[in-house]
C-alpha cells in the first residue's frame, strides 16, 4: 500500500454510476487526504439517499505488477460502523474505510472499482477514476455533475405508501 502523504496536493475526479442503470451517474471531486468513508458520504448525498446502511468498496489488488481482473483479488474497505457491530470483520479480511485515504490506496487514472451500499438491498455502483490532478485553490470539490434522476432508496416501499 502506498505511504500516506499528509501534504497531499492531489484531487481525484470520480464517475460513480449505478451498476445496472449506467445512465445514472455522478461526478465527484475529492482531495487526496479524503478517506474512503468520506467518499461514501458524498456518494450517499449525490444519490439522494436518506437511510444509512453498511457499505464496502472493492479495490482490485496489484498482482505481478498489474491490477488484477479477478474478483477474488480485491481489497475490501468497509464502513467503520461495521467494525463496531461485527467484531469478525477483521477476521474476514475487511479493512476500515475510515482509516485509509484516497492517496493511500494507489488509485490510477481509468481504474474501475466497485462500491456496494446497503448489504440487504444491494445498491451496486461502478466507480471510475476519471483523473488525478494537482489541487489548486480554485478547484471545486464535492458533487460537480449529476446525470439521471436518483432512484428511490426503497422503491418497493415507496410504491406501497402512495
Query: What are the helix (H) ranges across 29-94?
Result: 36-46, 80-85
pLDDT of 73 reads: 87
Does 156 or 98 have the greater pLDDT score? 98
Q: For residue 155, what pLDDT is reported?
A: 75
Residue 105 lies inside a defined structural domain of this protein = yes
Give residue 108's Cα distance to chain centre. Answer: 14
Rg (CA), the chain: 16
User: Does residue 136 belong to any structural domain of this protein?
Assistant: yes
Structural domain count, the chain: 1
Residue 136 pLDDT more than 90?
A: no
Is 23 within a domain?
yes
For residue 36, give the CATH number of its domain: 3.10.290.30
Average pLDDT (44-66) is 92
Asked if the structure places residue 1 within a domain, the reply is: no
Establish if 74 belongs to a structural domain. Answer: yes
Instruction: Provide the pLDDT for residue 81.
Output: 86
**Would 126 be classed as within a structural domain?**
yes
Q: What is the pTM of this model?
A: 0.87
d(CA 161, CA 117): 23
The mean-pLDDT minimum among 35-49, 52-66, 72-86 falls in 72-86
Range of the domain at 31: 10-161
Residue with cell 455502483: 125
Reported as a single tens digit per residue, the pLDDT across 77-127 is 999 987 776 666 555 678 899 999 999 999 999 999 999 999 999 999 999
Asked whether residue 111 is domain-assigned, the answer is yes
Amino acid at each position: 500500500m502506498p505511504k500516506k502523504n499528509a501534504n497531499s496536493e492531489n484531487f481525484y475526479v470520480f464517475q460513480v454510476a449505478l451498476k445496472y442503470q449506467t445512465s445514472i451517474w455522478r461526478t465527484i471531486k475529492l482531495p487526496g487526504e479524503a478517506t474512503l468513508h468520506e467518499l461514501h458520504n458524498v456518494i450517499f448525498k449525490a444519490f439522494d439517499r436518506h437511510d444509512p446502511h453498511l457499505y464496502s468498496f472493492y479495490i482490485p489488488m496489484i498482482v505481478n505488477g498489474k491490477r488484477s481482473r479477478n474478483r477474488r483479488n480485491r481489497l475490501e474497505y468497509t464502513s467503520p460502523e461495521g467494525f463496531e457491530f461485527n467484531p469478525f470483520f477483521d477476521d474476514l479480511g475487511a479493512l476500515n474505510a475510515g482509516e485509509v485515504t484516497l492517496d493511500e490506496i494507489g488509485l490510477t487514472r481509468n481504474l474501475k472499482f466497485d462500491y456496494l451500499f446497503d448489504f440487504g438491498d444491494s445498491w451496486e455502483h461502478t466507480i471510475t477514476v476519471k483523473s488525478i490532478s494537482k489541487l489548486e485553490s480554485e478547484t471545486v470539490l464535492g458533487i460537480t455533475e449529476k446525470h439521471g434522476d436518483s432512484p428511490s432508496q426503497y422503491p418497493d416501499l415507496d410504491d406501497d405508501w402512495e
